[in-house]
Chain A
Amino acid sequence: MSGKDIRQQFADTLLEVGRRDDKLVVMVGDISHFKLQPFSEACPGRFYNIGICEPTMISMGAGLAKAGLYPVVHTIAPFIVERSYEQIKLDFCYQKLGGNIITVGSAFDYSNLGCTHHCYVDFSLLKSLPETQIMFPASAQEFDVLFKQNYKNGKLNYFRIPKNSHGHEYDPNRIKVGQGLIIQEGRDVSVIVTGSQLKNAIQAAKILQQEDCGVEIIYMHTIKPFDQRCVRGSLEKTRKVLVVEEHSMYGGLGDEVLRTAKDIEGIKYATIAIPDDFIRGYGSYEDLCRDLGFTVEGMVKKIKQDLIGG
């Protein structure tokens, strides 16, 4: 499963769950309908391509939940999270109706499509709403495990599916919502990372190890609830932390780490995130990663410059 496309896993997991749970209902905003054809055929009457009307699709999801069903609403991140924010806030969260929002195209995955199709404030916006859980499963395995664990928990679950996987697999029993994963232990610097940037973080740690700098990597597939205990344990040991997130520098993983570290004396903090500006450039996802510092070299440089000197 490690190399499997996460979006394909999304379709496969929904099919598997939908076959055994007749309360799972899927609505899409005119994307992924080919991938979800097997679900549509196996679960007649429980798949709807609603079309281009995201706010209404969110409200409909709340209505499905009110009818006792487990809704999945799926389309491109900005059109759900940003355009339909009020519907998420009022119809799902305030009314305490449970459901699942599953997006693609978060951050700058749709690099060339520009600002209309970028979404890098989703953690911040959704974190601010009570009754939400925010997951960023960056492998097929994580999506499968986290979805099955959470889809009918009565919360508003946000699953942010990235374009790329980090390519690693872990003991599925260790993958639990709200629990960080210690990928490797180290004594000198903590790297707290979310999403497929885990791959780069592991490579960066290898380079730094050759220079006798021990990097502890903590991987967060869940942004909310946030695993303060795991992060705090690492920070108390290293007192130096780099946070890596494909999200705005405001309101995301970095803020959670700072909140966790607020009373740890002498903490040094650095971040690789999206700065206080819109991404205006074009090129591939990899091009934009390079421009913003989401690379192995970028992480090594940031740690050396901002955390350990030299």
Chain B
Amino acid sequence: MTKQNEILNKDFRRRIAKMCFEGKDGHIPSAFSIIDIVVTLYQKYLKFDAKKPQWPERDYFILSKGHGCLALYVVLARHGFITENDLNSFCRSGGILGEHPDLTKVPGVEANTGSLGHGLSMAVGLALGLRIRQFKNKIYVLVGDGECQEGTVWEAANIANNRELGNLCVVVDWNGSAAQLMPKENLDAKWKAFGWKTTVINGHVQKELDQAMRDVQFLSTGQPHVILAKTVKGYGVPLLEGHGTWHHRIPTQEEMRVIMEALA
């Protein structure tokens, strides 16, 4: 895939790698897997005011696969929720940014995640609550395909369909993690069976991301929508791509040189 498509968001990818290298912690491949999705949402589809993170009319983005949070942090910084200094303090004593997003510390973070299988269930409650209050906010949730092994994801998916939470859109970062253990995975059929409208795209191609995002209708009552974004873990740097040792590994100085060269 790397050779076939233009690598988007190289600047964000470089910043993520640098944070991980300097903070001596983090999940680079998971962040590279979702960065194009997160950038697209914040640039074009989410309504927010970084100066007022709790603005009642904002749209909500819940990163349920919390270990991908480096991608969220760099985007929050770009839009002014947090600062460059905050990014520089990643995983350091006194900083606000840890290896999982924390809404009690980080402006713009909507949920504490990290234990997989919580984000969608909270989002279903939020979507229901906003509808009860007759608010029109949109709710996006990003889950991993590995996370979809959690039973609570399907409890929540079932409820969202039965309660017709059309104000909810899930994006699945379908990078093949689940297939490492469960190769018979067919996420599209599964979400369809749970009553969701599905769209399968390449999650690293801007045109496909935009088309899929534009197609989500966000009706207060209606069929919930899931975008199944096929991605590559570590996308953009061949050294990091795929499953295995890089999931939670810190690059050496020499590896950083290789990473930066790939993202030049």
B125–A63 touching, CB < 8 Å: yes
**Residue A69 CB within 8 A of the other chain:** yes
Name the contact of A56 in the complex, choosing from B112, B115, B156 (C-beta under 8 A): B156
Most chain B CB atoms below 10 A, which of A53, A59, A64, A90 = A59
Bin the interface of chain A by size: 20 to 34
**Residue A225 CB within 8 A of the other chain:** no
A60–B118 touching, CB < 8 Å: no
A62–B159 touching, CB < 8 Å: no
Taking the closest CB of chain A, its distance from the CB of B224, in whole angstroms, is: 14
Known A-B contacts A53-B159, A56-B121, A91-B118; the reply to A63 vs B128 at CB < 8 A is yes
A63–B126 touching, CB < 8 Å: yes
CA A122 to CA B163, docked complex, whole Å: 31
Taking the closest CB of chain B, its distance from the CB of A39, in whole angstroms, is: 14
Contacts of B155 in A (CB 8 A): 53, 55-56
Name the contact of B122 in the complex, choosing from A45, A60, A69 (C-beta under 8 A): A60
Known A-B contacts A46-B132, A86-B115, A87-B118; the reply to A60 vs B125 at CB < 8 A is yes
CA A48 to CA B127, docked complex, whole Å: 14
Contacts of B159 in A (CB 8 A): 50-51, 53, 56, 60
Q: Tell me the count of chain B residues lying within 8 A, CB to CB, of chain A.
A: 26
**Residue B80 CB within 8 A of the other chain:** no
**Residue A25 CB within 8 A of the other chain:** yes
Q: A33-72: which have CB < 8 Å to B?
A: 45-46, 48, 50-51, 53, 55-56, 58-69, 71
**Residue A96 CB within 8 A of the other chain:** yes
Contacts of A51 in B (CB 8 A): 159
A59–B121 touching, CB < 8 Å: yes
B104–A60 touching, CB < 8 Å: no
CA A65 to CA B103, docked complex, whole Å: 14
Q: Which residue of B lies closest to A46 (CB)?
A: B132
Taking the closest CB of chain B, its distance from the CB of A50, in whole angstroms, is: 6
B122–A66 touching, CB < 8 Å: yes
Taking the closest CB of chain A, its distance from the CB of B32, in whole angstroms, is: 26
**Residue B123 CB within 8 A of the other chain:** yes
Known A-B contacts A53-B159, A59-B152; the reply to A67 vs B125 at CB < 8 A is yes
CA A68 to CA B159, docked complex, whole Å: 20
A55–B121 touching, CB < 8 Å: yes
A67–B133 touching, CB < 8 Å: yes
Q: Which residue of A lies closest to B162 (CB)?
A: A51
Q: Which residue of A lies closest to B110 (CB)?
A: A66
A60–B152 touching, CB < 8 Å: no
Contacts of B104 in A (CB 8 A): 94-96
B133–A68 touching, CB < 8 Å: yes
Contacts of A59 in B (CB 8 A): 118, 121-122, 124-125, 152, 156
**Residue B244 CB within 8 A of the other chain:** no
**Residue B111 CB within 8 A of the other chain:** yes
Contacts of A62 in B (CB 8 A): 122, 125
**Residue B95 CB within 8 A of the other chain:** no
Taking the closest CB of chain A, its distance from the CB of B196, in whole angstroms, is: 16
A95–B112 touching, CB < 8 Å: yes
B125–A45 touching, CB < 8 Å: no
Known A-B contacts A50-B159, A90-B112, A96-B104; the reply to A56 vs B130 at CB < 8 A is no
Name the contact of B125 in the complex, choosing from A46, A61, A94, A95 (C-beta under 8 A): A61
Contacts of A46 in B (CB 8 A): 132
Contacts of B152 in A (CB 8 A): 53, 55-56, 59
A66–B125 touching, CB < 8 Å: yes
Q: B88-145: which have CB < 8 Å to A?
A: 103-104, 110-112, 115, 118, 121-130, 132-133, 135
Q: Which residue of B lies closest to A54 (CB)?
A: B155
CA A59 to CA B121, docked complex, whole Å: 5
Contacts of A48 in B (CB 8 A): 128, 163
Taking the closest CB of chain B, its distance from the CB of A278, in whole angstroms, is: 26
Taking the closest CB of chain B, its distance from the CB of A240, in whole angstroms, is: 45
CA A91 to CA B122, docked complex, whole Å: 8
- Extra inter-chain contacts (15) besides given A71-B125, A91-B121, CB under 8 Å: A50-B159, A51-B159, A55-B121, A55-B155, A56-B156, A56-B159, A58-B121, A60-B156, A62-B122, A63-B121, A86-B115, A90-B112, A90-B118, A95-B104, A95-B111
A-B contact pairs, 27 of them (CB 8 A): A25-B132, A45-B132, A46-B132, A50-B159, A51-B159, A56-B121, A59-B124, A59-B125, A60-B121, A60-B124, A60-B128, A61-B125, A62-B122, A64-B125, A64-B132, A65-B125, A68-B133, A69-B129, A71-B125, A87-B118, A87-B121, A90-B112, A90-B118, A91-B112, A91-B121, A94-B112, A95-B112
Query: Top 5 closest A-B pairs, CB basis?
Result: A63-B125, A67-B129, A60-B125, A59-B121, A63-B126
Question: Which residues from chain B sit less than 8 Å from chain A, CB to CB?
Answer: 103-104, 110-112, 115, 118, 121-130, 132-133, 135, 152, 155-156, 158-159, 163
